[in-house]
């Protein structure tokens, strides 16, 4: 198994170490230093940030309850915290309702921003497939909603097949039982 860094910061630290490694060739050290500068600028970090472990208050924005849950999960993963142990600020009228704050190091903050950006898009795509599956499983689409599967582009076919797999694991909502229920 190779030593594969799991975070941007771990990668930056490895590149930083290589840029000063006496066992590396001059060309390797220069290439590492150049790559390090490029990645630091891309992630809005400095060399001090990857060496400094002091915590600051980091702000993150989210658009829905599911995005908030995803963000909390990522912070818990990166910071090694139980989700209930995450420091949140709330109740301040100056803080937008869709913002949350965590005590993180600069390196943790950069990792959370990177992972949140990637996972947020992936989650939206998966939720769309899940929604299609739910509609299909419960037969709640319009009568004239037929689509010719053969004319779909390959990526749409793959998405539709994934939705059908999701649907096969779902329970149908017992609509008629719910009408008479007092819950």
User: What would the pLDDT profile of 131-160 be if each residue is shown by its tens digit?
Assistant: 988 988 888 877 766 667 777 788 888 888
Beta bridge partners of 56: 104
Judged against a pLDDT cut of 50, whether residue 110 lies above it is answered with: yes
Average pLDDT over residues 121-139: 90
For residues 120 and 16, is the Cβ–Cβ distance under 8 A? no
Distance CA 174, CA 166 (A): 18
Q: Looking up tokens 């989650």, which residue turns up? A: 123
The pLDDT value given to residue 1: 33
The pLDDT value given to residue 107: 84
Judged against a pLDDT cut of 90, whether residue 122 lies above it is answered with: yes
Judged against a pLDDT cut of 50, whether residue 182 lies above it is answered with: yes
Distance CA 150, CA 1 (A): 42
The pLDDT value given to residue 3: 39
> Where in the chain are the domains?
8-51, 55-168
**Tens digits of residue pLDDT in 5-57:** 457 777 888 888 888 877 788 898 899 989 989 988 888 888 877 776 777 88
The pLDDT value given to residue 146: 66
Exposure string of 3-13, with b = 16+ CB inside 10 Å and e = fewer, is eeeebbbebbb
Distance CA 24, CA 115 (A): 31
pLDDT band at 2 (very low <50, low <70, confident <90, very high): very low
- Give the SS3 label for residue 57: strand
Exposure string of 32-64, with b = 16+ CB inside 10 Å and e = fewer, is beebbeebbeebebeeebbeeeeeeebebebee
Distance CA 112, CA 86 (A): 13
Distance CA 38, CA 43 (A): 9
The pLDDT value given to residue 9: 75
**Tens digits of residue pLDDT in 64-93:** 989 999 999 999 998 877 666 565 555 556
**Sign of CA pseudo-dihedral 166, 170, 175, 180:** negative
């Amino acid at each position: 198994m190779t030593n594969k860094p799991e975070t941007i910061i771990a990668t930056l630290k490895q590149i930083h170490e290589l840029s000063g490694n006496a066992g590396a060739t001059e060309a390797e050290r220069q290439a590492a230093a150049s790559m390090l500068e490029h990645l630091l600028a891309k992630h809005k970090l400095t060399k001090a940030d990857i060496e400094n472990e002091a915590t600051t208050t980091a702000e993150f924005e989210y658009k829905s309850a599911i995005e908030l849950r995803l963000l909390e999960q990522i912070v818990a993963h990166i910071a090694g915290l139980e989700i209930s142990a995450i420091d949140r600020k709330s109740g301040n009228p100056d803080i937008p309702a869709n913002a949350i704050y965590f005590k993180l190091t600069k390196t943790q903050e950069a990792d959370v921003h990177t992972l949140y950006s990637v996972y947020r898009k992936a989650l939206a795509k998966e939720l769309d497939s899940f929604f299609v599956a739910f509609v299909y499983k419960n037969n709640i689409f319009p009568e004239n909603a037929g689509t010719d599967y053969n004319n779909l582009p390959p990526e749409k076919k793959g998405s539709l097949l994934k939705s059908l797999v999701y649907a096969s694991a779902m329970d149908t909502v017992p609509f008629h039982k719910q009408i008479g229920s007092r819950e």
